[in-house]
Amino acid sequence: MHAIDWCIIVGYFALVIGVSTWVTKRNKNTTDDYFLAGRNLAWWVIGASIFSSNIGSEHLVGLAGSGATDGVAMAHYELHAWCVLILGWVLIPFFMRGKVFTMPEFLERRFSPGCRTFLAMVSLISYVLTKVAVGIFAGGVVFSALMPEMHLGPLDSFWVGSIIVLGMAGIYVFMGGMRAVAYTDVLQVSVLVIGSALLTFFGLKALGGWDVLRDTLGSEMFNLWKPLIPAGVEGTWEPVKETGRMAWYFNTNYPWIGMLFCAPIVGLWYWCTDQYIVQRALGAPNQKEARRGCIFAGALKLLPVFIFILPGMICFALAKTGQYEMLNVLVNEDQTVNRAAAQGAFPLLIKSVLPIGVRGIVVAGLIAALMGSLAGTFNASSTLFTMDVYRRFKPNASQATLVWVGRLAVLAMVVIGLLWIEVIRGADGLYNYLQSVQGYLAPPIFVVFFMGIFWKRMNAKGCIAALAVGFALGIFRMAIDTPVTLGILKGGYQEGSFFWIINNFYFQYFSVIITIISLAVMVIVSYATREPDYAQIRGLTFGNVTPEQKRITRESWNWVDVVGTALVLAMILWAYLYFNG
């Protein structure tokens, strides 16, 4: 890092602090303003904030790492831009009619207070296990790769970086709430996109171009649809070996059947029902602004394939060609990728190919993403805890008290996230860890929201049963996986045992099983118990939307929204056709 690079980074930090300070001064000490920015965000702010919150630590570190190890396989999750379109066109009208603050609050209106409390607790736990800890961990990975010699007393560069990113994000969320998050997100998205695009450009230039990249890595790295059984992989379960067959359900290479059925479940949960994302749309003044913000976010969502996955692939290709000595750690003796070292592909490429000045811009974009995702998580977590947990016990609390409780919730989430970092350090790839945990926790939430909105016969008892059973299955799988991840069980479970089978059962297939069981439980319990009060849930399901509500929704969109949506869908289709080996 040259002095010019450091000046650019310091200037970026100063700009972020300036914007957040200006926004904070405009805040009123109310829950509407602190948690939803007064419900007056413009569509372009909403779209940029959704994208910034999504494109954070797990993408710049984890997604680039998966690009180095598995090529474009993880692009499936980025091409889920169509899921955010579902949010804008299908779900936003239901969420905005009730003027809700949170997704658990919507479940209370659709089902019961118990459903609200259950989802709030599940969401808070999932944020600790994924977004908070992953964000802090990624900051450490970046700093340890860029500045490995940096120490602060007994703390190495990993922990120093984690604390720096954590502190910067926490400060402006603590002070400014949702408004500070949304407006700094606009700034951070600009820096992030420009910086990452420059890295892709200079990386391809150093390698020799697109054709060299394809020739070096091979066509399989450019194939979205991976086979059920990777070529050259032997069976891993003794009874299966004896029959000469392959256990297709033991796989770590993102097979096509998992991407086809599991990935959309996680995508629809994340983009359409997760407080972390939907809270930005809830900050809109009306359905029109919210929908256009979702369309804009969908267009931005297509960029990571080219500015995050490709840099990881470029980094591995450069390592194989031996052009940069510092990249040798990415390649094993047999010319395969070192999966552990691949998590540092993005910062390693920054160190290798970027000239002075440009490096500062890209690092600033990298830090922007780290802070953006953490800031969004802090804001969503504080909203969930304050509005869905604390206010339930203190219904008469003043607006000022609720705002301060939200701030204290941010501090608590930070501490808990720090304690979970060691679990992630042992995981097989940052993005793999994230997707597996989300795959275990998302299915029951996806089921109760979509069944609740599309099928008016579903009732509160069915909702609670589905959440309880689905969540229990997810925790059961995580409880089995964690001792192996942490290295507590050296060598894992005894081969062929029940726990060994569960631990090695591919996470995407296990996620589909949880979804099917949760769906069955919700339907069976709902029909075995009394039907809901349809007057009480009027306007909250497709089966009982009033003519007036339909009219308001229809008047909220025109040809501009239709054309924008069509363009996003066309770009998604092109990507699927192009990345086909």
Location of structure tokens 């964000």: 135
- CA dist 290 and 268 (Å) reads 17
User: 146 is written with which tokens?
Assistant: 């860029």
Provide the pLDDT for residue 485.
66
pLDDT value, residue 434: 66
**Per-residue confidence (pLDDT) for residue 19, from 0 to 100:** 77
pLDDT, residue 237, reads 45
- The amino acid at residue 453 is I
Q: Can you list the positions of beta strands (E) in 240-282?
A: none
What domains are there in the chain, each with its CATH number? 3-426 (1.20.1730.10)
Say what the alpha-carbon torsion angle 214, 216, 220, 224 is, to the nearest 10 degrees. Answer: -50
Predicted local confidence at residue 244, as pLDDT: 39
Backbone angles phi, psi at 136, to 5 degrees: -65, -45
The pLDDT score that the predictor gives to residue 492 is: 76
Nearest 5°: the CA angle 20, 24, 27 is 145
Put simply, whether the predicted model's pTM sits higher than 0.85 gets the answer: no
How confident is the model at residue 414, as a pLDDT?
A: 72
User: Cβ neighbours of residue 2 under 8 Å, at least 6 residues apart?
Assistant: 356, 357, 359, 360
Distance in Å from the first CA to the final CA of the chain: 38
Q: Give the tokens for residue 59.
A: 């993408």
CB-side neighbour CA atoms (13 Å) of 516: 8
| pLDDT digits (tens), the chain, 581 positions | 678 888 888 888 788 778 777 776 666 666 667 666 667 888 998 998 888 777 765 667 678 888 888 888 778 778 888 999 999 999 999 998 877 888 999 999 999 998 888 888 888 877 776 777 677 776 676 677 667 777 777 777 777 777 777 777 777 677 666 677 777 777 778 888 888 888 899 989 988 888 888 888 887 888 877 766 655 554 444 444 444 344 555 555 667 777 777 788 888 998 999 888 898 888 888 999 999 999 999 999 888 888 888 888 898 888 888 888 788 888 877 777 777 777 778 888 888 888 888 888 877 777 777 777 777 777 788 888 888 888 888 888 888 888 888 888 878 877 776 676 666 555 555 556 666 778 888 899 999 999 999 999 999 999 999 999 999 999 999 888 877 766 667 777 887 788 888 887 888 888 999 999 999 999 999 999 999 999 888 888 988 888 998 999 999 999 999 999 999 999 999 988 888 76
pLDDT at 41: 84
Say what the pLDDT of residue 357 is.
Answer: 83
The pLDDT value recorded for residue 245 is: 41
